[in-house]
Amino acid sequence: MVVNVDLANARKAVSFPVEELTHFINGGPEKTVRRRWLRSLVDPQNDPIFSNIDQPFLSRDQYYILMIKRLKKMLQLKKLHNLQRDDWGYLIIFAMELSISTLHDLFFTPTLERQMSEEQSSKWLPLAKDYSILGCYLQTELGHGSNVRKLETTATYIHETDEFEIHSPTLTSIKWWPGALARTSTHGILFARLIIDKKDYGIHSFIVQLRDERHKPMPGIEIGDVGPKYGYNYNDNGFLRFTRVRIPRENMLMRFSKVSRNGHYSTPPHAKIIYDTLVSNRIGFLELSTLFLSKALTIAIRYSLVRKQGDDYKDLNNENLILDYQSQQYKLFSGLSLLYASFFNKIYMQKLYENYIKNIGKIDDNLMAEVHASSAGLKALCTDLVLEAIENARQSCGGHGYSQLSGIPNVLTYYAHLVSAEGENTIMYLQTGRYLLKSFLIAKKGSSIGGRLSHLSFYSKILMEKCAAETLDDLLDAETQLCAFRHMYLRLLSNLDTSIETSAATHPHGYNGSIADHMIDIVNLSRAYCHYTTLINSHERLQSVKKEQSAIYPILRALIDLYFINAVLNQFGDFLIDGYYTPHQISLLKQGQKKLLNIIRPEAIGLVDTWEFCDNNLISALGREDGNVYETLYEWVKMEPMNILERQGKTVGYEEGLKDILTGKYLKEIKEIEIGKVKPRL
């Protein structure tokens, strides 16, 4: 493989051990070896079914069928090598990015594991794990999404037959958007209102069979596809309407909530336990964020080390690599800082959630509230920023970034749905904000707050603080960074609390009405708090890196420092308004931003190569590992179907109409033109 000279030189200039960073990302050398072996299983050189070379030119149906064939092959590999859950997840990433079975693996099966009784699990889990049934997650409806409590589908208990009757009572109650529903799934986890003797017990989950042994919809079930989407079009997102469908009582997921034969309802220990899969999926979105952003940045940074543009002011006979422009560095290195900050968030939330699941049913309300609030806020902030960063990466590739052959539009449109999946981001911010307001009210009354909000007990002291840092190094001290965002978010929280209470005193709908009038402020508060949380997660992890993997610490620290500076400068007014920072300190941070771009520049290629994406996985002419961008673009466009027909002597559209236009025949075919015969419509 002949590697582009500029790209090869850039790799030689990297000062940190790229392999060590790869091990850190993967969780150790053994896991790196394991991942590389898994990737080899789906190498297209071993089996052409895994080749993505023609993926940009496939129709929706062709791509779906290819994914089904790949899934079949991968399930054979899974069985052959006895692959467990983590291995299977990586195999999907290497082979398919997002699989037809993703919702089965990430939503359906984990929900069965966590929400079913032992008796139910013994029946359903073996079927799900063997893929004898394929499942989806039936939550979102045509008229309701984020507001889960207002879902309309009903599950009414029928005493006489010991069954639930599932029904879609309105047009807006049709299940809408579930992935893998339209053609793939045989069963679904249904969220519906539990009705017993005309009493509504709220949203509960049920397992429902959707298709029979011939894969045809069950009686009373209407299933279809929701049509073309912004992206991820091979996935069969569908709609589902129930017309009085009966299911056994035992199909209600009964690990926590229960309904007995006589219709007696037993409440769960915590009302929000039913939503634990939502929390799990939000954390999964943090992992998907690092996956998609690392792909986009790999493409954009590799391309930026090949593409030359503009005269070199030092040598007018040469052009500059576009990564040598400060503006390009700012776009892409800001994305790098976000990538690694998101990675640290993912690590923290995974550990928090593992503790949550380990003790589910025994967890106190405070920890459950923290898990829900943290997962909601970080999901929102992360997906908002990552979507913007992927688009910045696309724009940084100039005109070629608009081509599907660049690979980034595919990344962008696949990722975009995450800002509204499992809760639209504004709603997620509002959940986190209300948690903060509630905790602040408790602290004001003198009660102690545990966990990460323990500092609320000293909020008045914190609000009096001013930053005393005199140099850039002082400003970038880890504790100083945390103090800055803690002070800023607490000031927003305190001011918001005062404003809401003042407004509530005269508001016709009291406190809740006042909350509704302050939604913009609540979102801003939540974003500030989530930046604070991100910095805590990052610096806590960096402390262990400094002790155990010191060779990669400096560059990771530089990235988090850049994340901090960007977060401050994007809302520096909130730090200046009460004098916490001085204008001089803001000026120092601006200087620091430029300094960090220079530090990161020679390390950039190592920071993306460390994620080890192969060319088949990137599906990008611009992001090729060898840097042969232009050769690849030229070869790939030859595979475009209309170009193939052209080489065969068939010009699409010529016989169908172009010929008549160009020869004037279309004029001769006009049989009659009479002015005024056809009166225009007014």
Confidence of residue 220 (pLDDT cuts 50, 70, 90): very high
End residue of a domain, out of 268, 288, 310: 268
Report the C-alpha gap between 176 and 86 in whole angstroms.
Answer: 30
Residue 492 falls within a domain, yes or no? yes
Is the model more confident about 234 or about 314?
Answer: 234
Is the residue at 626 inside a domain?
yes
Could you tell me the two tokens for 590? 């601006």
**What rounded mean pLDDT belongs to the chain?**
93
* Residues 548 and 648 occupy one common structural domain: yes
Range of the domain at 222: 113-268
Domain termination residue (choose one: 245, 268, 291): 268
288 with 225, same domain: the answer is no
Regarding whether 256 and 207 lie in a shared domain, the answer is yes
Question: How far apart, in whole angstroms, are the C-alpha atoms of residue 524 and residue 76?
Answer: 49
Report, as an integer, the average pLDDT of 624-629.
97
Beta strands in 448-492 (DSSP E): none
With beta carbons less than 8 A apart as the criterion, state whether 395 and 116 touch: no
* pLDDT, position 449: 86
Give the domain CATH number at 237.
Answer: 2.40.110.10
Give me the pLDDT at residue 433, please. Answer: 98
- CA dihedral 156→134→361→122, nearest 10 degrees, is 90
Query: Looking at the structure, do residues 246 and 341 belong to the same domain, yes or no?
Result: no
Q: What is the pLDDT of residue 317?
A: 72
The domain boundary, picked from 234, 268, 302, lies at 268
- Asked if residue 85 is part of any domain, the answer here is no
490, 368: one domain: yes
Inside any domain, residue 96 = no
Q: What token pair was written down for 126?
A: 């073996």
Looking at residue 118, the DSSP 8-state letter turns out to be H
Q: Judge if 513 and 636 occupy the same domain.
A: yes
391: annotated active-site residue? no
Mapped onto helix, strand or coil, the DSSP state of residue 672 is: coil
**Of 381-390, 488-497, 600-609, 665-674, where does mean pLDDT reach its minimum?**
665-674
Residues 216 and 289 in one domain: no
Q: Which residues are annotated as a binding site?
A: 140, 179
**Residue 391's CATH number:** 1.20.140.10
Same domain, 417 and 525: yes
Tokens for 234, please give them.
């091979």
pLDDT band at 371 (very low <50, low <70, confident <90, very high): confident
Q: Is residue 72 part of a domain?
A: no
Average pLDDT for 150-156: 97
Of 604, 634, 601, 629, the residue nearest 615 (C-alpha): 629
Residue 288: HSE in the Cβ half-sphere, 13 Å Cα cutoff? 25
pLDDT of residue 271: 60
Q: Is residue 506 located within the same domain as residue 624?
A: yes
Beta-strand runs (E) in 159-303: 163-167, 175-176, 187-196, 199-209, 221-225, 238-242, 245-248, 258-259, 265-266
Per the annotation, where are the binding residues for FAD? 140, 179
Which one of the listed residues 422, 465, 548, 612 is annotated catalytic? 422
Is the pLDDT at 376 greater than 80, yes or no? yes
Q: Answer whether residue 362 shows pLDDT above 70.
A: no
Indicate if 310 and 428 belong to the same structural domain.
Answer: yes
pTM of the model: 0.94
- pLDDT above 60 for 129: yes
Tens of pLDDT, residue by residue over 248-289, are: 999 999 998 999 999 999 987 666 666 677 788 888 899 999
The residues, ordered by sequence, that sit 6+ positions from 366 with a Cβ below 8 Å of its Cβ are: 450, 451
Overall size of the chain counted in residues: 682
In a domain, 146, yes or no: yes
Say if 500 falls within a structural domain: yes
Task: Provide the domain count of the chain.
Answer: 2
Residue 425 and residue 557 in one domain: yes
- Asked if 223 and 336 sit in the same domain, the reply is no
Q: Does 458 map to a domain? A: no
CA distances from 96 to 51, 111, 205, 346 (A): 10, 23, 30, 22
